[in-house]
Structure formats: C-alpha cells, structure tokens
A and B are shown apart, each in its own frame.
Chain A
Amino acid sequence: MKRIYSVLVENRSGVLSKVAGLFSRRNFNIDSLAVGETDDPAVSCMTIVSSGDERTIEQIEKQLNKKLDIIKVKTFDESQSISRELMLVKVKFNKGNRRDIMETCEIMKAQIVDMSKHQMMIQICDTPERTALLITLLASISIVEVARTGTLALPKCE
C-alpha cells in the first residue's frame, strides 16, 4: 500500500537526517522524499512517499509524530491528493529521430528547454506515472542523464 506523508518540520540543521534516519532505523521504505521551505521560512515541508502494510503505515505516522522537530504530519492516499514530479532528461538525437522526440514531447506536454548540436534537454512536470512513462518512451532513444525531484503532493482542495 502506497502512502503519502506531508510533514511540516522546524527548518533547522539536521532535521532531514533525523527524519531519514528514522525511516532506515525502523525499516520503513522511502519511495521518494522531497523537501522545501514553506511560506514560513522557519518551517519546511517534507513530502515522503512510502509503502507498507496497514500497521507499518500507522507506525510511520506515529513515529514521525514522536520526533520533536516535526510540527505536523498529514497523511493521505494518492487518490486524495494532487501529486507532481519535475524531471529533466538529456537525450542524444540525430536527424532521423529528432522529429519523433519532438512529437513525443508534444504528446506528453514536455518542453525542450536546452539544445546543442547533438543533445537536447527535456523538462516535464507531471504526475509520477506520466513522468515514468516519458522515461520509457525516451529509453529507446539514447538517454544521456536524468534528474528527477521526488514527488510533491498536497491533499485536494476542500
């Protein structure tokens, strides 16, 4: 079972390692983790995607709540939230596949953000599934390197 935790933490040094350390120490999975400041610079928001059985999922929330640097833990399913990932992919291209790549980008609503004679960089900001799909589509062409943020998510508007 996949679960998203949106965790508000005190923006202090060492907090990321404490939270990450909690997951490894208690044998919980981290599928993805993304951190950034909120509207309050003293508070950061960590979005953690994890998976496990019901008891594990409950334990993760309780153990997170025990940490003194954690202000608030919100947890929800993917279906109850909007989630996004940002990815940059650098691919090698030639005359023969240039059009194909551009068409793929168009279909996937991805943008070409940089280009040289033989390489182009594609940016996509979409759900984790569609981001993964773009990688599959580009895999047959030659991918040079990939950088991906973790999943960011917020519960849907009330």
Chain B
Amino acid sequence: MIKCLEAEGVDMVFGYPGVAICPFYNSILDSSIKSILVRTEQNAAHAASGLARVRGTVGVCAVTSGPGATNLLTGIATAFADSIPLVCITGQVNSELIGSDVFQEADVTGAAESFVKYSYLVRDVSEIPRVFKEAFHIATTGRRGPVLIDVPIDVQNSSLSRFRYPEEVNLRTYKPTVKGHAVQIQKVMKELERARRPIICAGGGVLLSGARQELQDFVEKHRVPVVSTMMGIGVMPTRHPMYYGMVGNNGRPCANRAMNESDLLIMVGARVADRAVSQPDLITENKVLVHIDVDPAEIGKNVGPHIPLVGDIRHIFEDFASQEFACEHEDWIRTLDDYRTRMEPVRRPNPGYVDPAEFIRMLSEEMQEDGIYVADVGQNQIWSCGYHIVRKGRFLTSGGMGTMGYSIPAAMGAKLAAPGRQVVAVCGDGSFQMSMMELASMRQHGAAVKIVVLKNNYLGMVREFQHYTYQDHYSVVDLSGSPDLQKLAAAYDLPFIRLTDMSRAGDEIRRFLQEDTSMLMECLIDPMDLVR
C-alpha cells in the first residue's frame, strides 16, 4: 500500500491509527511519506481536502476500522458534495471475521456508498496495486470525488512476492468525456454572437479542472461578464472588471440581477443547486441556457438546458479559444456596471463591536496576494463570501455539504501542502468549537495557520433563521459555556489577539499577519447582527 502511494507521488497522509490500520502505519515509517496525526478522523478528510484543493492533486487519509471509519464519513461526504479528489484508506477487521460484529467492525463501504465516487473492499493482497491505481485514477478524472479503499488487517499483513504497480488502468465501465462535442461548441459560439446580454456563471468545476486562466482569458478577450456560485469564488479576482460577484440567496444583488436579466446564461462547472438558483425552472424562461459540465448527470438534473455540453472545462475553454467569433454587448456591460455601483448593500454595523463585513474586507486586503482564505460554515461563511477579496489566492469552504468545523483542518492541510503561502481560517465560535482539537495537530506538525474566530456567543446562522422564521423564538442556539479563547490559546502556546471594535482593526490585522506563525484572533461581533 505504501509503495502504491509512493508510486502516485503522495508525500503526506492525514489520519489516525488504530489496530486495524497498524500494519499500514508500521510500514509508512520506512517511507518518505509524512504522516500527520489529526485529533479526530473527520478532520483527516478535511485536511486532505485542503491539500487536494491547493495542490490540485489527490488528498490521502488513512484511519482505522469501526469508529475510525464512521468518524471519517462526514469528511468523505463533504468532499463528495464539493467534488474534491480524495483517496480514503480504512483498516478493516480480519477478512474471515467480516460480518460477525467483532470489535471495531463497521460496514464502511456500505455506509459510505451514496457519497463516494467508488469504493473497494480488498479481498486479496494481489488486488492492492490494481485497486490503488484505479482509485487514484477514478478520484482525479471525470467529475472528481472521494474513493474509499477498505483493507482488512490480514490483507495488510500479507505480502506480495513481486510488487509491480500497473502503468495503466483498464476500466471498461468508466470512460469520462474530456473533449466537448464540436457541434455543441459551435452552437455556443453562435449563441454568443447572437446574444445581447450574455453572462457566464462559473462554479467549482472551473477550479477543479484547472481552467481559471482559460476562463479569464476568454472573458477578457470577448468581454463576457461573469458571476460565480459559492464554490466558484476565486475563478476571477474579486475586483476584476468583468466579475460581478456570487449569485444565490446569500449572493450579491447585482450578480442575481445580472443573471436574471441575461438573455444567454452559460453555466460552467456548476450544479444549478438550490442555494445558487432557488427556482431553476424560471431561469430558462427568458433566456438561452447553456450548461457545461463534466458530469452528464448534472445536466438536466435541476434544469433542462437548451444547449448541453459535456466535457472537461479546461479542454472546452481551450476549444472556445480556438474559435473565431465576434460578440458585441457593451451596453449590457454598462448596465451591469451601473447595477454594481447602485445595488451595493448598505450595512449599518453596530459601532460597539467588530463589523465582520468590514473586518473581512480589511483582512483580505492585508493578506498576501496569493494567500489562501478558508471560510467555515455559518454567518461567517456568508460574510466571507460577500466581503473577502480574492486576488491571486484561493477561497476554500464547504459549499455543498455546509460542514461546520471545515475551516481549521482544511487550512491546516492547505498550509502543510503549500508552506510558503499564507493561510487564514475564518470561523465562528460554533464552528471553531467543532474542530478546535486540531490546534494540537497544528502545533505538532508546525502548520502556521492564522485563525480568526468571529465570536457572538450564538449559532448565528440558525439564530438568524429563527429570527426570521420563528419570530425570535430562539431554541438551542446559545453558546454559553464556551471557553475563554485567550486561555485556550495560551494552552496551545498560540499568540492571541482580541479585537473588541473596529478602532484598532487595521493595526491588529497587520500584527496578526506579520509573521509566518500560527495565531488566534478573536473578534467580538454583535450577537444580533444579520448577514443581510
């Protein structure tokens, strides 16, 4: 197994040992692969996800059977929802004992079935090279996603007389489409020539296929405006003149208006999911819809497009670039620019607290140009989406699943994957407490992650929902009893900054980011603040 990982160029594995994965962890010591011990298995998958997203490769995690494997499930589901390539290795009880409910046995391949791209239960050691080769291939091609390999301990303990890692995979049932259909590409070009109000809505698929530059070149050449989904944040620099922000119920008003008023909408690597498009049937009424995705099942799942185009986005944009066509819609751009200035939401922050919106804007301005910003889930996520400014860096978050506690382990994985880059995790006090155990892993492995906690003593997103839906009838959203973060930081030798209002924000943010060391910054925000 270790030799397979070496053959795949893996240099880091996130995980948590237990008896059933001990043969694996025994052998990893003899390799150059670094193992990172997390403090709960779910975070191994999140950390691997952070690594995968920053490097554009596969993230690998390895945990034990039973509770180790079941703890990992949320992490796998999170990666699946955002199409992040992972290879997750779980130890399993002895082959002969499978099915007899022995100590730490769980049917993990069965439990994970609906949120893995594929899974293996390895029955014989001779299958290991083929299974690993296939797993890495499946995770990184077509629509990316997590692949699970469950390996019984007796299989781990067996040896192969001769190890040969296969050079090719031969899967008759798996041949993802890479090149877009030429006829469909022509149709898209025709529509672009005809359209008066075209717009591109870019999703996470653009980043996953590594098509950021191709999209940007296309957009600059033909002056087509762009909006993005949450997972698509970062496809364009936030302040790029052709970028109008995130769409959806928590999106920017001008982005939603731009999408609604367009006469040609090109969805690229986006699912037309409920948070981005609340009424998918309506968006086809007054416009031509083009849907480009590598997964044919996404096309037509939520809305039936006029022009479906299946393929890898980078290849498709390379093909677009080779097409000669002209389009003219300067009026439309002027209209959108006008919306952008006129429709900017006005916040009335409480001066007695830190204004999360302004704070996030200042923080991202001060961050290094290629810095990685990891947003958690909750009100903090919506503020981050709305106010973080991407330049050449990345914006990572759990978009599809909305898994609280994602930011700290994902930021740790990102920092270990790219030690030269600045990594900042921004979470709320609810999400912080879901993964604060990883402060120890960060310290142990020297991952210099900056952590911001927007503290309001509430599960703010749920409180806001209860405010609107149940007329302030708050139920189980009070976070009283939370730890003193200053003392907690001291316990982990973390330098600590507390910001109580905006007066010293600039200086403190600069102090926070100055050195490449871990630091914890607590921002007290108005408990009654709303994301809108």
Return the chain A residue nearest B176 by Cβ: A66
A68 with B138: CB separation less than 8 A? yes
B174 with A21: CB separation less than 8 A? no
A69 located at the interface, meaning its Cβ lies under 8 Å from any Cβ of chain B in the complex: yes
Least Cβ distance of B423 to chain A in Å?
34
* Complex: A59 Cα to B113 Cα, angstroms: 18
Contacts of A58 in B (CB 8 A): 300
A62 with B297: CB separation less than 8 A? yes
| Residue in B174, B295, B297, B300 with the greatest tally of chain A CB atoms within 10 Å | B297
A41 located at the interface, meaning its Cβ lies under 8 Å from any Cβ of chain B in the complex: no
* Chain A, range 1-55, C-beta contacts under 8 Å to B: 10, 14, 17-18, 21-22, 25, 55
* Complex: A58 Cα to B110 Cα, angstroms: 26
Taking a contact as CB atoms closer than 8 A, the residue among A14, A18, A69 that contacts B173 in the complex is A69
A80 located at the interface, meaning its Cβ lies under 8 Å from any Cβ of chain B in the complex: no
Give the interface size bracket for B toward A: 10 to 19
Least Cβ distance of B157 to chain A in Å?
23
* Complex: A55 Cα to B174 Cα, angstroms: 24
Taking a contact as CB atoms closer than 8 A, the residue among A10, A18, A55, A67 that contacts B300 in the complex is A55
A17 with B118: CB separation less than 8 A? no
Contacts of B295 in A (CB 8 A): 66
Given contacts A10-B173, A69-B173, contact A55 B297 (CB under 8 A): no
B interface footprint on A108-123 (CB within 8 Å = 1, 0 otherwise):
0000000000000000
* Complex: A83 Cα to B516 Cα, angstroms: 70
* Chain B, range 293-315, C-beta contacts under 8 Å to A: 295-297, 300-301, 304
A127 located at the interface, meaning its Cβ lies under 8 Å from any Cβ of chain B in the complex: no
Return the chain A residue nearest B299 by Cβ: A62
* Complex: A70 Cα to B118 Cα, angstroms: 12
A104 located at the interface, meaning its Cβ lies under 8 Å from any Cβ of chain B in the complex: no
A105 located at the interface, meaning its Cβ lies under 8 Å from any Cβ of chain B in the complex: no
* Complex: A17 Cα to B173 Cα, angstroms: 18
Taking a contact as CB atoms closer than 8 A, the residue among B114, B118, B304 that contacts A68 in the complex is B118
* Complex: A135 Cα to B172 Cα, angstroms: 43
Least Cβ distance of A87 to chain B in Å?
32
Least Cβ distance of A141 to chain B in Å?
44
Given contacts A68-B171, A70-B173, A71-B172, contact A62 B296 (CB under 8 A): yes
Least Cβ distance of A52 to chain B in Å?
13
Contacts of B121 in A (CB 8 A): 14
Given contacts A10-B173, A68-B171, A69-B173, contact A25 B297 (CB under 8 A): no
* Complex: A14 Cα to B121 Cα, angstroms: 10
* Complex: A69 Cα to B174 Cα, angstroms: 9
Least Cβ distance of A50 to chain B in Å?
16
* Complex: A18 Cα to B116 Cα, angstroms: 11
Counting residue pairs across A and B whose Cβ atoms lie within 8 Å, the total is 37
Given contacts A55-B300, A59-B297, A59-B300, contact A68 B173 (CB under 8 A): yes
Return the chain B residue nearest A54 by Cβ: B304
User: How many residues of A are in contact with the other chain, CB < 8 A?
Assistant: 19
A149 located at the interface, meaning its Cβ lies under 8 Å from any Cβ of chain B in the complex: no
Contacts of B296 in A (CB 8 A): 62, 65
Given contacts A14-B109, A62-B297, A69-B173, contact A55 B114 (CB under 8 A): no
Taking a contact as CB atoms closer than 8 A, the residue among A17, A59, A69 that contacts B110 in the complex is A17
A interface footprint on B191-220 (CB within 8 Å = 1, 0 otherwise):
000000000000000000000000000000
B173 with A55: CB separation less than 8 A? no
Least Cβ distance of B253 to chain A in Å?
30
* Complex: A8 Cα to B22 Cα, angstroms: 39
* Complex: A55 Cα to B113 Cα, angstroms: 24
* Complex: A139 Cα to B172 Cα, angstroms: 48
A97 located at the interface, meaning its Cβ lies under 8 Å from any Cβ of chain B in the complex: no
Return the chain A residue nearest B298 by Cβ: A62
Return the chain A residue nearest B171 by Cβ: A68
A25 with B114: CB separation less than 8 A? yes
Contacts of A55 in B (CB 8 A): 300, 304
Least Cβ distance of B119 to chain A in Å?
9
Chain A residues with CB under 8 Å of chain B are 10, 14, 17-18, 21-22, 25, 55, 58-59, 62-63, 65-71
> What are 28 residue pairs bridging A and B, where the CB atoms are less than 8 Å apart in the complex?
A10-B173, A14-B110, A14-B121, A17-B110, A18-B113, A21-B113, A22-B114, A25-B114, A55-B304, A59-B297, A59-B300, A59-B301, A62-B297, A62-B300, A62-B301, A63-B297, A65-B296, A65-B297, A66-B297, A67-B173, A68-B117, A68-B118, A68-B138, A68-B171, A68-B173, A69-B173, A71-B172, A71-B173
Instruction: Name 8 extra pairs, CB < 8 A, besides A62-B296, A66-B295, A68-B171.
Output: A14-B121, A22-B114, A55-B300, A63-B297, A67-B173, A68-B117, A68-B118, A68-B138
Closest 7 CB pairs of A and B: A62-B297, A25-B114, A68-B118, A71-B173, A68-B174, A68-B173, A66-B297
